[in-house]
Amino acid sequence: MAHLHQRHLHHRHLSTDSAAIFSPTVARQAASAARDWSYVDAWLDSKFHNRPVPEFERNPDTLRALLALASLNETADEERASVARADAADALRELRKHDESTARNPSIREEFLAAIEDDLPRESRIALDGMAAMAVEAGIANAEPEDLGARIVTLQKSVHDAEQMKARVEVLGRHIAHDAQRMSEFLAALQGDDYKLPEDQAKRNLDLQRKVKALSAQIPELQERAASLASSVSSSHPTIDDVVREEKEYLAILSRKKQLDSQMASFEGLPSNTDMARSELDALRKQLRGLLLVVTLSSKDLLSARVL
């Protein structure tokens, strides 16, 4: 909520800046209002502690009312503090009077306790003083041995926990010191001569910048050349389907070639001249007919012989 108040004040200051430039009176009023709002916001935060401050309209009337309320509240707080101090002083005086009267007129109980304490042996008196001191340190009004023992155990546990925590912190501190030393060495190495820039680095940078500018100027020309090459050269690549289709076509052509080779094998003995090849083919055909006729006659003679 305080953040909202400050943001509102910021916007309010922005709205009045233009007027403050031309009017010193307005500037003084704005500064005074800002101080008053800062005082009111601090007072509201102190009253609401960690709770959010309720929203309200921030205007001059509200500011005057809150300033009056804060002034009255502080006056009441001062009066209440004065009354509390007076009451405390009266109570202290009464307590001192009671102690003085008790010291002058000890009661029977106190006389009895004093007599017992005087008759106690030295060891018992030391133990009683130790228990009393322990009760005072522990803040126990009516101390019992069981309560003091439990408090001792609790204190020992707290001491043990503190020692364990101290040991962990020491280990962590050693790790941090080791890492800090390592980082220091690494930083010293980075600041050494091995990582220093060469003396002519500035000249190299200028040369690189000139080369970059020159190459950048060549980029449009190279792009045009690449585009012309891309248009003249087919950039298509065969796909798997194209390869499969071409393989099938190749296998079909290969099968057809084998068929043609088998057909051409029967004409291997023929001469290369067409007329001579035709004449030789006719002669072979005549020989084939003669052989067929002989085979036919032989078959008939064999059949007749079997019939007879």
Whether residue 238 lies inside any domain: the answer is no
Whether residue 204 lies inside any domain: the answer is no
Higher pLDDT, 280 or 163: 163
Q: What is the tens place of the pLDDT at every residue in 68-104?
A: 888 888 888 888 888 888 888 888 888 887 767 666 6
CB of 85 closer than 8 Å to CB of 78 = no
Whether residue 151 lies inside any domain: the answer is no
> Does residue 7 have a pLDDT over 70?
no
Q: What is the tens place of the pLDDT at every residue in 122-147?
A: 887 787 787 788 777 777 777 777 87
Whether residue 222 lies inside any domain: the answer is no
Distance between CA atoms of 290 and 154, rounded to whole angstroms? 136
Higher pLDDT, 27 or 300: 27
CB of 125 closer than 8 Å to CB of 117 = yes
Distance between CA atoms of 219 and 288, rounded to whole angstroms? 82
Alpha helices in 49-59 (DSSP H): none
Per-residue tokens: 257: 């070639």
Q: How many domains does the chain have?
A: 1
Q: What is the pLDDT of residue 176?
A: 95
* Across 42-51, 57-66, 221-230, 271-280, least confident range: 271-280
Whether residue 90 lies inside any domain: the answer is yes
Q: What is the pLDDT of residue 164?
A: 93
The model's confidence at residue 171, banded by pLDDT at 50, 70 and 90, is very high
Whether residue 209 lies inside any domain: the answer is no
Amino acid in the structure at residue 296: T
Q: Could you identify the residue written with the tokens 């003085």?
A: 100
Distance between CA atoms of 204 and 216, rounded to whole angstroms? 18
Whether residue 10 lies inside any domain: the answer is yes
Residues of the domain holding 57: 2-94
Alpha helices in the chain (DSSP H): 2-22, 24-48, 60-104, 108-119, 122-138, 145-190, 201-232, 240-265, 274-307
Distance between CA atoms of 241 and 247, rounded to whole angstroms? 10
Burial 10-39 (b: 16+ CB within 10 A, else e): eeeeeebeeebeeeeeeeeebeebeebbee
List the end-to-end C-alpha distance of the chain, in Å, as a whole number. Answer: 141
Whether residue 202 lies inside any domain: the answer is no
